[in-house]
Amino acid sequence: MNEIPTHIDFRTNVQHVPPHIPASIRKATTKFLGTRQAVVDVLGDERWQALRQAAHDIRLHTLQHLDHYLTRLEEQVHAAGGVVHWARDAAEANQIVLDLAHEHQVKRAVKVKSMATEEIGLNHALQADGISVMETDLAEFIIQLAGVGPSHIIVPAIHLTKEDIAQLFTRKLGVDAPPDPLKLCEIARTRLREAFLSADLGISGANFLVAETGTLVIVTNEGNGRMCTTMPPLHIAVVGIDKVVPDLESLSVLLKLLPRSATGQKMSAYTSFITGPRRSEGEGGPKEFHLVLLDNGRTRILQDDVTRETLLCIRCGVCLNVCPVYNNVGGHAYGFAYSGPIGAMLSTQLLGMRAAADLPFASSLCGACAEYCPVKIPVPEILLRLRRRAMEGDALERAVAPAAITSGARLGTLAFSHPWLYEFGTQMLKYVQAPLLKNGWLPNLPPPANRWTLARPFPAFGADFRAWFRNRTPQGRAREQQRKFGIGVIAAGIVALAAFLLARRKKDER
Amino acid sequence: MSVRAQLFITCLGENFFSDTLKGMVRVLERLGVQCEMPEGQTCCGQPFFNSGFQNGALAPARQFIRVFGKTDGYIVAPSGSCVDFVRHHYLQLFPTGTPEHARAKEIVARTFEFSEFLVNVLKVEDVGAVFPHKVTYHASCHLLRGLGLREEPKQLLRAVKGLELVPLNEEETCCGFGGVFSVVYPEVSQAMMQTKVNNIQASGAEYVVAGDPGCLMNIAGGLHKMHSPIRALHLISVLAAQ
């Protein structure tokens, strides 16, 4: 995904999801959830819950003292021989990378999978400047060939089957690619090997930044991360400021949770710790190491005491795997690099309501994500706060609700806060619905309620419990008589008023 | 002194689940609970709150605490979602230190979902119901995750004479209702509902039971549309059967 979207229309995107998507996504997410459960069960629920709480506390503490830990991180990266750059937004981050690339006459860059660089559209910026960029994570390599963004934050090509990938390789690489995962890997591996050897720049993100030691931590399974960060003479890491952790002890807690939640692994195949560039000519590794610390709206997210917990996220992707919405629509429907529940929270805040007000509503608030989240992000609470921001506005943004919706809500609150009006309404609806009733159901309602009947019929209105309950006692019966009389008077009044208005209109017409 | 229950009938309950509400009174009275129906109740305000109109939710919520603040005894509702909302959002709606906050706090402490009230407050599992049918259970999200009631509804079902409880694949996956979600994104809601209905049909049950009117409207509508012989019932309706 190289363009930063200015408006996301979730419903339209959903309507264009290819029909095979839910099945292929579900196959993969079910597998991940199964392996995850197995490794969580080994630890036992009590231990797991304690780890989650510890991780939540560590992450929240870090966010509350972000200035301190970032300063410490900068000092330590500097002490290890690296250079730290601060980027306010996507444009600044891209420019920093471009300037460094120019300075080092970079022609070819290789990349480790990174959500931050997807977020800022770095590939697009580099390519527009004539620098070739190659994604080296297998799935990123595939979607780069396909020319689309990631459809899952840890499994970017989750929407493609092995047959799709074989076709793509045949078409784009001009080779005879069979739909065999091993053969497909070999084809990619040959290309990647050439790229690693000839690249003059390696670009990565990071899973964590350790403030105490100035260490960049990258969790991967393919080994491409090590190739990208050690083979080329220049290594640039673009990392969100939210990725900092205080020290190695806190890191060890998070590393217990990340691979288990993400892929159901106790540990990923590679966990790389990178502290600065090489220290002498004899050592391996890049000559220069640059760390670009990306804000891009993160400090703004910190300003809201509920939604700031979005930044606790360690990008494990389990919220996507367990989300029934994500499983039915896939990642591309969310219109930006981040998808699923984390996308609904993060994209909305990074892009703003004008672009992404659809996303906080793309959830049934079932809460499965919050139950699985390894750092205990209260996802439904955050989505509710963002819905409020969209509809009523708050200290950070103005409301973007259409006037018709705001008026509708006002009318609703009026009826729901005046019991007589409410009770009158419940009784009237029983009569008003008559022409639309079919076998005790309302199969077709007029707009906007047709949004419900598109999917299934609406049940018939049938409020009679209050009358039933009141009629059980003499006092209640008297009250019920009064109420019936009241409703009769109001209804007669409405009919009389309608008749009067109609008659007057007829007279005016004449 | 007998236990008193103030019936919080909820807006969906009142409009679409009249028989369930009558069943609630029968079951509670059978257990010796004295039922009262506070006049003037409308809706807890959740539909507004969840649609983003959180200031808008204040007026119905105020009405709720005005009505129920005058009562005493337990407040019991046939809906996990409404109780979850009252329990977990009312204190946040009314600023700390205001009289409304204090009243809300007092109300929250005595508001219970029906199965929670029976199993955890009254300590009853067998309510003397008879329902000789094959039944499967759908765990409503707010009942399950919001209130943490994983076993209580099933404990009640297992105690029903003649009832055979059969497992439901993906029992804890959302049915796609989600309140405003179902009308904002009907296509996604429908896909989720379809998965749920397919699982229900595969369970071999004659009835699917849940504890939340919202889910039941959605699931029952889905079953009706597919001309399925399986019926969706509120847990209370099963417990009221004799």
Name every chain B residue with its beta carbon within 8 A of the beta carbon of A462: 15-16, 18
Residue that is written with structure tokens 């999978």 in the block: A113
Cβ within 8 Å of residue A299, ≥6 positions away: A241
Q: Measure in Å the smallest separation between the Cα of A474 and chain B Cα atoms.
A: 14
Contacts of B40 in chain A (CB under 8 A): 419
Window 188-207 of B: residues touching A by CB (8 A cutoff) are: 188-193, 195
Band (pLDDT 50/70/90 cuts) for residue A448 is confident
Q: Across chain A, what does the average pLDDT equal? A: 95
| Cβ contact A463–B14 (<8 Å) | yes
Share of residues in chain B with pLDDT > 70 (%): 100
Q: DSSP alpha helices (H): ranges in A209-323? A: 224-230, 248-262, 298-301, 318-322
CB contact, 8 Å: A40 with chain B?
no
The pLDDT, as a whole number, for residue A479 is 85
What is the amino acid identity at position A357?
A
Integer Cα distance of A422 and A420 in angstroms: 5
In this structure, are residues A82 and A289 in contact, taking their beta carbons and an 8 Å threshold? Answer: yes
A283 — pLDDT class (breaks 50, 70, 90): confident
- Contact with chain B for residue A468, Cβ under 8 A: yes
User: What is the CATH code of the structural domain delimited by A65-301?
Assistant: 3.40.50.10420
Q: Chain A residues with CB inside 8 Å of B63's CB? A: 416-419
- Span A337-358, mean pLDDT? 97
Decide: helix, strand or coil at residue A254.
helix
| Domains identified in chain B and CATH numbers | 4-121 (no CATH), 134-240 (3.40.50)
Does the pLDDT at position B170 exceed 70?
Answer: yes
Residue A2 in this model has a pLDDT that exceeds 60: no
State the Cα–Cα distance between residues A15 and A66, nearest whole angstrom: 41
Q: Please state the domain extents for chain A.
A: 65-301, 405-509
Q: Does this model's pTM top 0.80?
A: yes
According to DSSP, residue A230 is labeled: H
Nearest CA in chain A to B43: A416
Q: Does A367 contact B at CB distance below 8 Å?
A: yes
Residue type, A284: G
Is the Cβ pair A368, B15 closer than 8 Å? no
CB A36 within 8 A of CB A318: yes
Contacts of A152 (CB under 8 A, 6+ apart): A25, A28, A158, A159, A317, A320, A331, A339, A340
Is the Cβ of B25 closer than 8 Å to some Cβ of chain A? yes
pLDDT band at A503 (very low <50, low <70, confident <90, very high): confident
Is the complex ipTM higher than 0.85?
yes
Q: What HEC string does chain B produce?
A: CCCEEEECCCHHHHHHCHHHHHHHHHHHHHCCCEEECCCCCCCCCHHHHHCCCCCCCHHHHHHHHHHHHCCCCEEEECCHHHHHHHHHHHHHHCCCCCHHHHHHHHHHHCEEEHHHHHHHHCCCCCCCCECCCEEEECCCHHHHHHCCCCCHHHHHHHCCECCEEECCCCCCCCCCCCCCHHHHCHHHHHHHHHHHHHHHHHHCCCEEEECCHHHHHHHHHHHHHCCCCCEEEEHHHHHHCC
Integer-rounded Cα Rg, in Å, for chain A is 29
Interchain proximity B192–A324, CB inside 8 Å: yes
Contact A169, A177 (CB under 8 A): yes
